[in-house]
Structure 1
Amino acid sequence: MRTPAPFRFALLASFITAPLAWAEDDRHYNIPAGPLSQALAEFAAQAGVTLPLDPTMVGGLQSPGMQGDVGTAQGFELLLRGTTLEAVPQAGNTYTLRPKPSSPALHLDSTNINGLHDVRQSAIGPLYGYKASHSSVGTKTDAPLRDIPQSIQVVPRQVLEDQQATSMADALSNVSSIQRGNTHGGSVESFIVRGFQGTTYAIDGVLTNSLTVRPEILTDLAGVERIEVLKGPASVLYGRGNPGGLINVVTRRPTLVPEAQVKLQAGSFDLQRGQAWVGGPLSAEHGLAGSLAMAYQTEGSYRDLYRDSHRRYFAPSLAWLPNDSTRLDMGLEYTETDAQYDRGLQVIGDRVDARHKVFLEEPWSHSSSDKTAAWFKLEHDLNDWLTLRQVTRWDHSTKSMLNVSQRTLQADGRTLVRRATDFDEEQRSLSAQFEAIARFATGGLNHQLLAGVETVKGKRSVTMLRANLAPLDIWNPVHGAQPGPFGFGEDSRFDQESYGLYLQDQIDLNEQWKLLLGVRWDQVSQRNRNYDRNGVPTDIDINPSDTSPRAGLVYQPAERLALYASYSTSFAPQNKLTRDGSVLDPETGTQYEVGAKYDIIPERLSATLSAFEIRRKNLAATDPLDSSYSIQTGEQRVRGVELDVSGEIQDGWNVIGNIAVLDAKLVKDTRLEEGNRLEGVPVVSGSLWSTYQLQDGALQGLGFGAGVFFAGKRYGDLANSYSAPGYGRLDMSVFYDIDEHVRVSLNARNVLDKDYIETIASAGNYAGEPASLVATISAGF
């Protein structure tokens, strides 16, 4: 419920001040019981101290009040009885609120401009621990996860810190039904979610370029606050997309309390990484704060003849709260990478070659990418019930590759036919969203209504040259071949404009029943222009439109339990042609899902159990009368059950785990056998990671972690012509908090040094990394 207007405080910008600065000596106070925000405001004014307050932290909480002669620190302690908050003294006669530490673990974040409390979490603020209670990815509003009728999993920053994760793949291994997908020669990370390949991510709720066929660049985690996964179709809020789910990266936000973190890492295969994050007030009086995230990483490989990879990351941001009704965020992000290009391991017969170190490229093959992004977000509360929001995001990326394409393995089982490719790609996109959120009641029902319009303009250009390259004996590889003369391969231009209108209503029918209804209409206008070797263009114009509905119902029979059922849809334009020259209709996805969300330990440990069926229809299939064209009869289906658990079992003991059982099949096709399993999807997969830190005694601050990650047999293509066996991997860690500011840790990956295939896909198969170690030292305040 929204905090009443007289006691509504802007996010860390409404400072409570008094003209006099009293000493810490006891004073007499008479603060009545009531709303916590009111009690704290009155006490701070009488005590003559400055206290920034966040409505998402204190809104809805009550204080028992306080009477008597007390000092300032004791007064705050009495007023905060019954909550998990504490007041911490800062420089300049200032106090800040934060959750009470549940353990002596390293706390590198203090109060964030978007709020933080375990009970009153913000959907975009930091999390303390492994359990998330709020998210915005499922509704574009700050909503409790238990009120959303769809499975949503969150990987908080503490999990990234405990596992010392440096990639999206490491982070998303903690979420059910996610497998690694096409990496485009190791230059990007893409994922299969609930059986279906994703092509892009969302950043702070805004999708990147809609024309991309894979993420533009590797995502650095230095500026990431959390990673969210909305399971199932999400077109009602995000437009075009894959039916398996949406990955949303939430970035770290500036603070009005000075804080910083520096981390240095060194590990196996010449890993060296340094990263820093700093935030604080630029003008606390005017509610202006800034932050800066930076990272540099260089890494070798266990593969033969492999060149080192490099990554550079830089991301400044600003937050401004000019008054108690207006919030402005803006930022810039730049990422640059260069690495060895590598299509991975060859398929021999019906299995992937198990010789993990064999390198089938040439030392000169490489990939270089860079991406620049800028964003602007403005929110304004017109009154107590209506909020307006405008978000603009601009992305620009380039990629250059000189690589080896592995063509076919000849009948002798050892001669690999290869080709050299010189590839250049440039992508641009500009997205703008205009939204209104209204909170009102009608007929005894409480509504939160979201109405929005989105416009997206995207461009993508691809040029490709190809050359002959000498074949390679995979059993006795001799490197050093140079490509022959390069000739024309491809010259393509893609331009797209899309428009979306969407409406969503979150309805509280009563305290136990909640209804979610939504619908979106999209119109896409796209031109694909392909030039032949003589420079003659051929155009394909695509102008689909589609309506994406969504409905869900939540029943909460007890405070700790929420049962739900939902229906959601997705769509994705296609560019394949039929024999009459028309473009195929968009692919569509439909999901039916039921589930339960349960707090195993209130405010500590939660679980989500879900069962679902997704059907992906209108897929392009080869025209049986002319293989140069397509017909629209393809269909795929995934049925599954998932269990995700995360949180704190007791003080210092954290856990995050999942298991999924998926039946992912090809249902209709003109060329492939119906019943074949979908590419890269195991029947059973999951993970379990847990850490424990000693809470007292001589070894207080010492902690241990361990986790197992597993997946069953997977096929590498829809024809099911080859496969990779299942695997299990054991990771371990040990860490020690020297004090509240400094932590040292040692993380071991694949402790048992198992050989396994981690990624299997028709575009490239990759082995999992052998046993490795990463040593880390972190310092922060």
Structure 2
Amino acid sequence: MRVAHPRPGALRARLAGASLAVLAQVAPSVAAPPAEGSVQLDEISVESRGGGPVQAARPGAAARAAESPTGPVDGYVATRSATATKTNTRLIETPQSITVIGRQQIDAQNAQTLTQATQYVAGAYAGTFGADTRIDYLTLRGFVVSDYGVYRDGLQLLNYGFGYFRTNAFGLERIEILRGPASVLFGAGSPGGIVNTISKRPTQDPFGSVEVGGGSFGQAYAAFDLGGPADQDGHWFYRLTGYGRQGGTQVDGAPDNSYSIAPALTYKPDGSTKITVLASFQHDTTAVTANFLPYLGTVRPNLSGLRIPRALNVGDAGFNTFQRDQASLGYEFEHVFDDTFAVRQNLRYAFNQSDQNSDIGQLGYSDAAQTRLARYQFRDSAKVNLFQVDNQGEARFSDGFFRHDVLMGLDYKNYQLHDNQASLFPANDLSIVAPVYGGPAGIPTPYLVNADSFQQLGLYLQDQIKITDRLTLLLGGRQDFADNRVRDRLTPANSNGRSDTGTTYRTALIYNFDNGLAPYVSYSTSFQPLIGSDINNQTFRPETGRQVEGGVKFEPPGQGYFLTLAGFDIHRQNVLTANPANTLFQAQLGEVRSTGFEAQLVASLAEGLNVAASYTIYGLTNERGTADAIGKVPVNIPENFANLFADYTIPTGALRGFGFGGGVRYVGRSFADAANLYRVPDSVLFDAQVHYNWDRWRLQVNATNIGDRRYVSSCQAFNSCFYGEARRVLASLSYRW
């Protein structure tokens, strides 16, 4: 049976970035010299799906070749992506809400994690469990996407139980957040959307960079990024990215150390064939920093008028540990036969092993004065093997009436998890006034030793039909075959499994006016098989969902900004909720509806000025569930966000190269209990940065939550609340050549 150990939520189970080749007429292009410090990715031949005249660059910038969907973003305004359609499609022609965060924006914010990099995105809440150094926990449109909805280069990073992968932001070229169901192409993911991270890839032009930095909590890091041709004939290209971080966190005695290396190699024997090998290894040593604390003492003072110190290590400082090793190896292959046909194959094997041993709160206080926290000890060992392959064939042609871009695909994934969980109730309690740490209270008793096996095979078909030069109809369908097996090694008689099939589809229309206005409407469905089993040792039924979305995109030619407005209505069925008979288990009692509105603006308004802003409001309602939850808002999830980030670099004059900027983030209130009796108040946070570029050097200082506001990011239950990130100041110095 699958036990839902209290943790940052119940973590449940894209075209990879190979270049997309020409399948139509060659578009004229004028390649401008790369800006200082920028990286020009090498692409096969010329531009692909969505071809046409090269888009005008932002004011003051030279014209340049069409953007690659896996390459750098010029400023903050991306023009193309392959996440929503698995084809190289212009964002202004994509009938779904999507935000692309490029390397320049990641660097401006000096984001070290996926959580930090996505804090200015519409529909996203990237701090649910505050300063958690074990995982990046994200929600989109009110639904968790950290479990089944995080992808790397179009292939899933499946995070279930405690066997979760973590992404190092330094190794990314771009982050693409697709809102709304994506099952029709990917076969998995929350109806709220997916987050597709794109790895840095080999480059045509040689370059290099080194960077060092440090700041709050004794953190220090060093990184390097090298790439270019590997031979004189122009067939081999390489890239090597490395990163190392060491130091503390806002929790006393809790380290946050991480080391990673990511080599990549591209081979292009000719202009129609390309294969890129992507590999990575990462080692993390940290602790449980997302402390499970009571509502009284965090959101509100407790009975003694006290608040629990934000720096309190609820685990024992001697054995509050979490370690992870993860590695991956895969490739992206593409061959173009002619102007009509192309094939691609993206394959990856990923491995993950983690160990955790710590004392956990979540039991409330052990004394009437509420000065001592009750704790239990938790230990987990998890090992994950994940194999995936995505085969694609694309055909671009005209039937005499309409132009078609047809994508056919067959993908397969095999996920194996060995999970060993143990606990000890109770452990020694802990004073919040004068904590005294000792050794373990005893040896935790295993309550779950499972071998979970999950396989999924999917067939999909999509057609992007140009009914006219302005009107595009998108049709897609998919059939999935899933198999879920749970082998209970503690009680073999409880082993069980099930097989499921699911059909999903998407239909959408978008109309592109000459002035850059593009209204669209779409309907899509989702199908998500779930790993694990309930209190009765029955494997879970798949989740399903459906969404109606309508909106408008606006990208006036040559103006340097992109605005997206979207309204949506999502229904999600078979949602896992805490079992009312025993909250350590889960039950499929839930049905949740999310209805709302989003606005996202990205802009490069003038030379040196970049802006990212968004606003989100939605209503989240339990339509089925326990009696006290029906009609109420699910816990943990704020329903209102607003943020603005701006960065300006002086382009000329005596202060040329000096820049500054900052941001403001508003997070609305949320609830701490199913009956919505206890509220977590809203918060406003401020960020700031200054930087100076000279020659090939860059000096930068970033500060997040600059006022060091003490706030609670969310509460999972009355005794499970989480402090948000404290003020974090980080200085860096980089050199590029």
Establish whether residue 493 from structure 1 lines up as the match of residue 493 from structure 2.
no
Within 5 A, what are the aligned runs for 1:356-395? 356-363=310-317, 364-395=319-350
Question: How far does residue 770 in structure 1 lie from its aligned partner after superposition?
Answer: 3.1
SS in 2 for 1:557: coil
Partner of residue 421, structure 1: 378
CA distance in 2, matches of 1:672, 1:563: 40
* Per-residue CA distance 1:143-202 (angstroms, 9 max, x = gap): 001111100101110001111111111111021121134589631112111100121411
Within 5 A, what are the aligned runs for 1:44-83? 59-61=26-28, 83=30
Partner of residue 568, structure 2: 612
Question: How far does residue 464 in structure 1 lie from its aligned partner after superposition?
Answer: 2.1
SS in 2 for 1:408: coil
Partner of residue 342, structure 1: 289
Partner of residue 10, structure 2: none
CA distance in 1, matches of 2:585, 2:397: 53
Q: Is the 8 A contact 1:645 1:657 kept in 2?
A: yes
| C-alpha RMSD of matched pairs (Å) | 2.8
Question: How far does residue 109 in structure 1 lie from its aligned partner after superposition?
Answer: 1.9
Question: How far does residue 283 in structure 1 lie from its aligned partner after superposition?
Answer: 1.5
Partner of residue 529, structure 2: 573
Establish whether residue 453 from structure 1 lines up as the match of residue 415 from structure 2.
no
Q: Is the 8 A contact 1:108 1:780 kept in 2?
A: no
Establish whether residue 432 from structure 1 lines up as the match of residue 389 from structure 2.
yes
Q: Is the 8 A contact 1:546 1:571 kept in 2?
A: yes
Q: Is the 8 A contact 2:23 2:341 kept in 1?
A: no
SS in 2 for 1:128: coil
CA distance in 1, matches of 2:532, 2:704: 43
Q: Is the 8 A contact 1:344 1:765 kept in 2?
A: yes
SS in 2 for 1:376: strand
Return 401-410 or 222-231, whichever deviates more. Answer: 401-410
Partner of residue 92, structure 1: none
Partner of residue 743, structure 1: 698
* Per-residue CA distance 1:251-310 (angstroms, 9 max, x = gap): 111012111111111112111011111001111415110110000001212333x23221
CA distance in 2, matches of 1:448, 1:289: 30
CA distance in 1, matches of 2:416, 2:615: 39
Counterpart amino acid of 2:709?
Answer: K
Select which of 406, 411, 421 maps to 1:464.
Answer: 421
* Per-residue CA distance 1:738-781 (angstroms, 9 max, x = gap): 11x21111112222222222354359543233333211111112
Counterpart amino acid of 1:229?
Answer: I
Select which of 713, 718, 735 maps to 1:758.
Answer: 713
Establish whether residue 236 from structure 1 lines up as the match of residue 184 from structure 2.
yes
Within 5 A, what are the aligned runs for 1:34-113? 59-61=26-28, 83=30, 85-86=31-32, 98=33, 101=35, 106-113=36-43
Return 627-636 or 583-592, whichever deviates more. Answer: 627-636
Give the TM-score normalised by structure 1. 0.83
Change (3 A) 1:536 1:357: same
Within 5 A, what are the aligned runs for 1:658-737? 658-720=614-676, 722-737=678-693
Partner of residue 469, structure 2: 511
Select which of 465, 478, 482 maps to 1:520.
Answer: 478
CA distance in 2, matches of 1:769, 1:222: 20
Select which of 129, 133, 139 maps to 2:75.
Answer: 129
Counterpart amino acid of 2:225?
Answer: W
Within 5 A, what are the aligned runs for 1:26-425? 59-61=26-28, 83=30, 85-86=31-32, 98=33, 101=35, 106-113=36-43, 120-179=66-125, 180-181=127-128, 186-198=133-145, 199-200=147-148, 201-209=150-158, 212-213=160-161, 216-304=164-252, 306-349=253-296, 352=299, 355-363=309-317, 364-409=319-364, 410=366, 412=368, 413-425=370-382
CA distance in 2, matches of 1:185, 1:628: 21
* Per-residue CA distance 1:445-485 (angstroms, 9 max, x = gap): 01000000011111001112323421223344322242213
CA distance in 1, matches of 2:169, 2:400: 46
Partner of residue 551, structure 1: 507
CA distance in 1, matches of 2:703, 2:151: 31
Once the two structures are aligned, what percentage of the paired residues are identical?
26
Counterpart amino acid of 1:251?
Answer: S
Change (3 A) 1:308 1:626: closer
Counterpart amino acid of 1:372?
Answer: A
Q: Is the 8 A contact 2:671 2:677 kept in 1?
A: yes
Structure 1 stretches of 5 or more lacking a match?
1-10, 14-53, 63-82, 87-97
Change (3 A) 1:372 1:625: closer
Counterpart amino acid of 2:110?
Answer: Q
Give the TM-score normalised by structure 2. 0.88
Structure 2 stretches of 5 or more lacking a match?
1-17, 48-62, 300-306
Q: Is the 8 A contact 1:351 1:723 kept in 2?
A: no
Return 457-466 or 367-376, whichever deviates more. Answer: 457-466
Question: How far does residue 399 in structure 1 lie from its aligned partner after superposition?
Answer: 0.4
Q: Is the 8 A contact 2:620 2:633 kept in 1?
A: yes
CA distance in 2, matches of 1:525, 1:500: 12
Q: Which has more radius of gyration?
A: 1
CA distance in 1, matches of 2:706, 2:251: 19
Return 234-243 or 631-640, whichever deviates more. Answer: 631-640
Partner of residue 544, structure 2: 588
- Higher RCO (C-alpha 8 Å, min separation 6): 2
CA distance in 2, matches of 1:582, 1:314: 41
SS in 1 for 2:404: strand
Change (3 A) 1:525 1:649: same
CA distance in 2, matches of 1:125, 1:730: 30
Q: Is the 8 A contact 1:576 1:630 kept in 2?
A: no
Q: How many residues align?
A: 689
* Per-residue CA distance 1:217-236 (angstroms, 9 max, x = gap): 33112220000001011100
Counterpart amino acid of 1:569?
Answer: T
Question: How far does residue 651 in structure 1 lie from its aligned partner after superposition?
Answer: 1.1
SS in 1 for 2:512: strand
* Per-residue CA distance 1:340-396 (angstroms, 9 max, x = gap): 223415113496456322322110211000100011111111221000111111010
SS in 2 for 1:331: strand
CA distance in 1, matches of 2:583, 2:316: 34
Counterpart amino acid of 1:542?
Answer: R
CA distance in 2, matches of 1:623, 1:366: 29
Change (3 A) 1:589 1:309: same
Partner of residue 502, structure 1: 460
SS in 2 for 1:158: helix
Return 137-146 or 632-641, whichever deviates more. Answer: 632-641
SS in 1 for 2:107: helix
CA distance in 2, matches of 1:354, 1:722: 18
